[in-house]
């Protein structure tokens, strides 16, 4: 392979090839867990069902315009703080509205022993574990990328790179392995010169 000077773009391409190979060998952790926002939305819906669910059957024949519905439920946490938990949005990006009351008071008091709260806390804990795994993965990926970048910055040509790191040859773009095969565009230089 003929040695070529490494410019910024070529270094970036080689780095991306290394990182892509690393990612192929080290897949990013994935999870079916809900996000924190989705967990809160699910909790809000469960609370609404617990508070107002017993009325749904008796009110099912009453037209929606005669019912008071809200996009949230007001709850009090075990530490006595009060929050408005929103139900989220539907597939058409409209607020999900559920049966509610016009009174602006706490609709549900959550205790530490509440099954809904325990389930929510367990899911938050699982989400934290996943977030830690993902953070560790990103740190390892960034460290790998930084180290390869340091090597690429320490050499000036593809020849020097292969000399210090022979395995790197596989990550150099194929089209520059032999610069003599790079074809110039079909342009008449005589025509270009005549326009000068």
pTM for the predicted model, two decimal places: 0.71
Residue 158 has pLDDT above 80, yes or no: yes
The length of the chain in residues reads 196
Residue 26, helix vs strand vs coil: coil
For the chain, give the mean pLDDT: 88
Distance of CA 38 to the CA centre of its chain: 14
Distance of alpha carbon 97 from alpha carbon 89, whole angstroms: 9
Write down the domain spans for the chain: 8-31+126-181, 36-112
Does residue 48 contact residue 73 with C-beta atoms inside 8 Å? yes
CA 81 remoteness from chain centre: 30
* Percent of the residues in the chain that have a pLDDT greater than 90, as a whole number: 70
At 21-70, the pLDDT tens digits run 999 999 999 999 999 999 999 999 999 999 998 888 888 888 888 888 89
In tens, the pLDDT along 183-193 reads 555 656 566 55
Q: Tell me the per-residue pLDDT of 59-111, one tens digit each, with 9 for 90 and over.
A: 888 888 888 889 999 999 999 999 999 999 999 999 999 988 877 689 999 99
Task: Give the whole-angstrom CA distance, residue 150 versus residue 11.
Answer: 10
Q: Is the pLDDT of residue 13 over 80?
A: yes
């Amino acid at each position: 392979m003929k040695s070529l000077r490494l410019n910024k773009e070529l270094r970036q391409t080689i780095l991306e090839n290394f990182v892509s190979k690393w990612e192929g060998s080290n897949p990013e952790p994935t999870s079916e867990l809900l996000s924190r926002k989705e967990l809160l939305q699910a909790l809000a819906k469960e609370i609404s069902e617990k508070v107002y669910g017993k009325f749904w059957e008796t009110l099912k024949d009453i037209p929606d315009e005669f019912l008071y519905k809200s996009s949230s439920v007001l709850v009090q946490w075990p530490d006595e703080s009060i929050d408005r938990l929103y139900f989220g949005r539907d597939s058409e990006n409209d607020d999900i509205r559920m049966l509610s009351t016009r009174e602006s008071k706490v609709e549900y008091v959550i205790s530490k022993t509440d099954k809904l709260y325990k389930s929510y806390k367990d899911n938050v804990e699982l989400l934290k574990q996943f977030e830690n795994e993902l953070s560790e993965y990103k740190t390892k990926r960034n460290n790998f990328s930084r180290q390869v970048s340091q090597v690429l910055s320490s050499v000036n040509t593809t020849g020097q790179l292969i000399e210090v790191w022979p395995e790197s040859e596989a990550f150099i773009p194929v089209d520059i392995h032999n610069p003599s095969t790079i074809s110039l565009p079909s342009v008449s230089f005589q025509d270009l010169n005549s326009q000068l």
